[in-house]
Structure 1
């Protein structure tokens, strides 16, 4: 695996550093003990996943999913559930190759950043396990003790680009100082901006786009 000489490297999480989608892992874990997981799964399959494939995830749609996902939980109880999920299932899906690549970048002094559409509680659990000090993600919006949706901007599409740009600008850097690893065609806008795009475990649509643009491709699923 080649390591690029850049000050900052961004990594997607789902199907990139881990071999599944974190939301899918969470739902399957909840199925073991909670009937409510059936409602969450139906909402995700009927609305969220199809919208994601069409590149049409909206703030309202994702907020609605998280209101359903965290029904009956305040932020503290959700954090406890996520910790249990991560210990029992989530950590088992980290690609072993991820640790080697992250270590190589850390050794050369590159700043590691996870940038993901997962919520900040899930994303930070993976960030701690992987030794990634900076996590940019969707943040749960809390009013009083109740989780009511997501903060803006959403870490998806143009919102993801804006959040990455803000991180770089705070350090006096620009996209020409960054690399980005991701599996998803939804991240093409950010891939097109960074100095070094890398396609990681891509879906078919992104693989085709990478071939046209001559972007390097890694596929840990077949190693």
Structure 2
């Protein structure tokens, strides 16, 4: 079965779910609005510039999960989905997923954003599986640390290769759709790399290498 792999933020979604979760926490008064928002914006800027320190960012992003029970987090995420994620849904992205689904492809999201945020989004999009940065848990609660390799840059390739070995899938004929130059390591190993509403550096690379460029936002 051919793999159709998708980045999530700013690819299948018209926005960044990781940043949006931070904004949601600020709006709900669950964190110090000024301090948290400034840091959240700074990390997003570093990501966009290709200078993000992933360990520093994850220390920031995962800490709030340690402050609430699983029941409270579930309730918060349901509200987050309704208020923040649903407005980011792209009909063209859902049509692209359906196109691959009808072709008999296996749909896989691979994202740097942590699994607490993204697993329900993947379920909403109806994909077959998701690889995301995994928050560490102990005795049923989040620790604020990362379990295993962060699913970021070369880490996406590492995580994907481990998943391929476990699942029996291969990259023969595979597709990967992404908006970000940060995903270049994975774009370079699939058979069919596709730039989706790409940032300036990825657009330049895609044009130089004659990769398809899609617009899912029009």
C-alpha distance in structure 1 between counterparts of 2:10 and 2:123, whole Å:
18
Q: Deviations over 1:111-167 (max 9, x none)?
A: 000101111122111111111120100111123434322212000011101111222
Aligned to 2:61: 66
Q: Deviations over 1:20-67 (max 9, x none)?
A: 011222233333331515232222233x22432343434421331124
Aligned to 1:217: 213
Aligned to 2:77: 82
SS at match of 1:86: helix
The structure-2 alpha-carbon separation of the partners of 1:165 and 1:88, relative to structure 1 and needing over 3 Å to count, comes to same
SS at match of 2:68: coil
Cα root mean square deviation, aligned: 2.0
C-alpha distance in structure 1 between counterparts of 2:45 and 2:19, whole Å:
14
C-alpha distance in structure 2 between counterparts of 1:58 and 1:205, whole Å:
19
C-alpha distance in structure 2 between counterparts of 1:76 and 1:147, whole Å:
16
Instruction: Tell me if the contact between 2:21 and 2:117 (Cα under 8 Å) persists in the aligned partners.
Output: no
C-alpha distance in structure 1 between counterparts of 2:163 and 2:30, whole Å:
40
The structure-2 alpha-carbon separation of the partners of 1:128 and 1:172, relative to structure 1 and needing over 3 Å to count, comes to closer
TM-score of the two chains, using structure 1 as the length reference: 0.88
1:93 maps onto 2:80 in alignment: no
C-alpha distance in structure 2 between counterparts of 1:141 and 1:35, whole Å:
21
1:120 maps onto 2:115 in alignment: yes
Aligned to 2:144: 148
Aligned to 1:26: 21
Alignment coverage as a number of residue pairs: 216
C-alpha distance in structure 2 between counterparts of 1:78 and 1:35, whole Å:
12
Segments of 5+ residues of structure 2 without an aligned counterpart are none
C-alpha distance in structure 2 between counterparts of 1:172 and 1:142, whole Å:
27
1:172 maps onto 2:168 in alignment: yes
Instruction: Tell me if the contact between 1:165 and 1:174 (Cα under 8 Å) persists in the aligned partners.
Output: no
Aligned to 2:159: 163
C-alpha distance in structure 2 between counterparts of 1:70 and 1:42, whole Å:
19
Segments of 5+ residues of structure 1 without an aligned counterpart are 1-5
Aligned to 1:181: 177
SS at match of 1:139: strand
Aligned to 2:200: 204
SS at match of 2:58: helix
Instruction: Tell me if the contact between 1:181 and 1:200 (Cα under 8 Å) persists in the aligned partners.
Output: yes
C-alpha distance in structure 1 between counterparts of 2:129 and 2:32, whole Å:
30
The structure-2 alpha-carbon separation of the partners of 1:127 and 1:35, relative to structure 1 and needing over 3 Å to count, comes to closer
TM-score of the two chains, using structure 2 as the length reference: 0.90
How do 1:32-43 and structure 2 match up within 5 A? 32-34=27-29, 36=31, 38=33, 39-43=35-39
